[in-house]
Structure 1
Amino acid sequence: MRPVTEHTGRGVVLPRGDVDTDQIIPAEFCKRLTKSGYEDTLFAAWRQDPDFVLNRPERAGASILVAGHNFGTGSSREHAVWALRDWGFAAVIATSFGDIFRRNAVKNGLLAVELPELAVAELSDWVDNDPAFPVTVDLLALQVRANGARWPFTVEPRARRLLLEGLDDIAVTLAKGDAVTAYELTRRPWLPRLGADQLAEVAP
């Protein structure tokens, strides 16, 4: 996973609240066996409407989604984050998020940024009125910046560290390979232990 520090991009507004994971990616697309290649599935039902915002040519390449309240509610499917990421979104800004969606976003390098309602409303107006309007999400400074305005946001410290360092759960475990190997070598002989080939896989 690539480190996430600061991202500046054009935005697109999805003025809907309670967007659940089944709307982000319908269940029929969750049968795939890969963690990438889901860009064609994002908002698949809504994109049947030619006027849906992601179908508009002037919004092509937008990398920041400005949404409403309770974005990503519903099931725990990680595919919802994969679909947003694969479409090209680096950040989602909303007034609130589903808890599981927020955790899945961190694990996959997608910034889920919560701002007050008035801030999201102001940002939505600017983005909606100008397809080229730039927005910056700064994880180092914990700020969203646009049009001279600055809005602070918070991220759980461990999640922020993992994003800044580009680490997922697997990378965190692999970084402790020496400790795992040392522990396995000193365990009592009658306890189950990793074989030599498994220890080699854990060691960095």
Structure 2
Amino acid sequence: MNVTPTPIAGVMLVETPLREDHRGAFGRLYCDRELADLAGTRRIVQINQSRTREAGAVRGLHFQHAPHAEMKFVRCLRGRVWDVAVDLRAGSSTFLRWHAQELRADRHAMLVIPEGCAHGFQVLEADSELLYLHTAHYDPDAEGGLRHDDPRLAIAWPLPVADLSERDRAHPLLSPDFAGLDV
């Protein structure tokens, strides 16, 4: 596995090569030994999958508050998405900066998003599917979210936003005095 840092500390791109032959292909999705430097003592406790029908749809930006903050490993299984991580960590040198990475089913890479970062994505190809590995269980009382169009973030979504859930529409804008999350 090839691990490449992004401009946001702790957000990493992990590329996993495929072995191909006349029968097809084989690839490793996750390896605790190879990713030990990233995961530390965390363990994967929940695995989720999403499918989004419409190109241009945005999901997120989501996070969980401490003590339920989670690290996510996000991989595209079908189609293409523009995956975004936003640094919300109090005191971080990249506070309120975002990083986006195109994830494609044919490129065999995943984005690692640490605790204290919000996550969202825009679908670039209809019927795209994502696989998420989480280091904390989902807790509805700990969920948080940001608006995709928050002017303090100024995320440059590559396509016009075609679809948002009611939940994601209802996320608040960041308040001027937002100082970050403690993780």
The alignment's TM-score, normalised by the length of structure 1, stands at 0.25
- For the pair shown, the structure with the greater C-alpha radius of gyration is 1
**Higher relative contact order at CA 8 Å, sep ≥6: structure 1 or structure 2?**
2
Greater strand share, 1 or 2? 2
Q: What's the TM-score, normalizing by structure 2?
A: 0.27
Between Structure 1 and Structure 2, which shows a larger proportion of helix residues? Answer: 1
